[in-house]
Amino acid sequence: MKKMLIANWKMELTESATLDLTFHLKKRLKKISQVEIVIAPSFVYLKEVKNLLGKSNIALAAQTVAAQQKGKFTGEVSAEMLSEIGCQYAIVGHSERRLKLNETDEMINHKINQCYHAGIIPVLCIGESAEQKSSGQSDTVIVRQLHAALEKVDGLPENELVIAYEPVWAIGSGQFLPAEQIFPFQRTIKRTISSLYSEKFYDENVRLLYGGSVNSIIAKSYWASDFLDGILIGGASLDLEEMYNIAVEGE
């Protein structure tokens, strides 16, 4: 599996800014071949972005997905709908959704199930808050989040899974967890997923990304890490040159 760079555009860009950035990324990242590039625009622009990308090397992710398959759920967007328009990935359980939009572990588990039913690869976000970190609970939180999200999932272990380890305190704060400090977290994540499925599944089907205040100055250390398979970026992904420089470092 290739290393991966996911750009999470959150609710930051208007239609024209989304299409403009997509257009330029497509041209600028044309030669990137060793890194799988994935962009996650707002739901409302997914189809337009897909059309603009055409057969480019850039894949599409949704920023979230409904926990239900279909029916009377006003405002929700199902995994099947996303799959239909060519979305390959869906971010699930981002800390902004967990903390600001009351997304629960149970909902996250349902969302992951829905993804696999529709042929979408989930990008499961996990990570501890500043308080949990300072009270020594990082490991407990990560293990709990992984168990809740990944237990009894139809579609595992035969499909791919992406995990984004994003300490909440590092997101959008300018404070990052240095690459060399990720090993203990990778060990916990690998041990937990291996116990739920198998080590073979982890080694062959799981990609582990780091996310949290990564920019082009520090990206290299994450790409160089033996424990990581890529990076998820928020703020830096809104800037064409930052995006380009981060992607190039991974080649």
Residue 41 interacts with ligand PGA (CB under 6 A)? no
Q: Determine contact, residues 215/7, Cβ cutoff 8 Å.
A: no
Report in angstroms how near the CB of residue 236 gets to ligand PGA at its nearest: 6
> Given the complex with ligand PGA, which of 68 and 215 has the nearer CB atom?
215
CB atoms within 10 A of CB 133: 17
Bridge partners, residue 61, by sequence: 89
> How far is CA 136 from each of CA 94, 131, 163, 212, rounded to the nearest angstrom?
22, 9, 22, 19
Compose the 58-97 pattern: x for residues touching ligand PGA by CB under 6 A, - for all others. Answer: ----------------------------------------
Which letter does DSSP use for residue 160 in this model? Answer: -
Residue 250 interacts with ligand PGA (CB under 6 A)? no
Of the candidates 36, 94, 110, 249, the residue annotated as catalytic is 94
Residue 234 interacts with ligand PGA (CB under 6 A)? yes
> Given the complex with ligand PGA, which of 6 and 193 has the nearer CB atom?
6
Residue 40 interacts with ligand PGA (CB under 6 A)? no
> Given the complex with ligand PGA, which of 157 and 249 has the nearer CB atom?
249
Distance between CA atoms of 251 and 220, rounded to whole angstroms?
10
Of the candidates 36, 166, 242, 249, the residue annotated as catalytic is 166
Place of tokens 């959008």: 172
Q: Determine contact, residues 218/249, Cβ cutoff 8 Å.
A: no
Active site residue 199: no
Place of tokens 């928020």: 234
Phi, psi (5° rounding) for residue 11?
-105, 45
Report in angstroms how near the CB of residue 148 gets to ligand PGA at its nearest: 20
Residues 204-223 that bind ligand PGA (CB under 6 A): 211-214
Place of tokens 């949704």: 62
The strand pair at 35-40 and 121-126 is best described as: unpaired
> Given the complex with ligand PGA, which of 9 and 202 has the nearer CB atom?
9
Contacts to ligand PGA by CB under 6 A? 8, 166, 171-172, 211-214, 232-236
The catalytic site residues sit at: 94, 166
